[in-house]
Amino acid sequence: MKIVFATHNQHKLKEVKALLPSEIQLLSLDDIGCFDEIPETGKTLEENAKIKADHITSTYGFDCFSDDTGLLIDALQGAPGVYSARYAGEQKDAKDNMTKVLSELKDSANRGAYFKTVIHLNLENKSYSFEGIVEGQITKKEFGSKGFGYDPIFKPKGYNETFGELSAAIKNEISHRGLAIQKLVAFFKNRAL
């Protein structure tokens, strides 16, 4: 079965490919020649994930899933949330985003936060949704160089290392995206591929 993961992000693609059953041939937006700028105009992660998947299915005719992920920080009333990728500006620079978050939390004792990933799947003219959440804390500085995005400043609950320090295997098992993908994988396995 061929299915498109609506991303150009090779880090995400690699994470997801490692989790999906071998019967599924995962294609990226690059693989189908999609270089459209898909506007993420939704007010929620769910809306943005649906917008992206619907665009690929209606424009390119592929079954598709897309995700949207946000970092929601308690002391910032849920920010950056849906704006996580462009929190420090339209350049979507991870280092700038982390610097802004650390600056905004510098005097805060409340470092609680969680990552949330929502996956929207269009398959055979039906739609499905899957969600993964991981709770944790924002550190006071960056630790580690693995992963991407906010990984070096997010320490998941129950661990002493940030996502920037943990191995890819552990991160895939416990992360927000990993948990949402596990639900997607279980869905595919239940369909008896």
Report d(CA 97, CA 157) in Å as an integer.
22
Counting every residue written for the chain, the total comes to: 193
Report d(CA 185, CA 106) in Å as an integer.
39
Cβ-based burial of 167 (10 A; exposed 0-12, middle 13-18, buried ≥19):
exposed
Which amino acid is residue 97, in one-letter code? Answer: N
Catalytic residues: 68
Q: Which residue has the tokens 């989790």?
A: 19
Report d(CA 85, CA 193) in Å as an integer.
34
- Residue from 35, 9, 13 nearest 26 by CA: 13
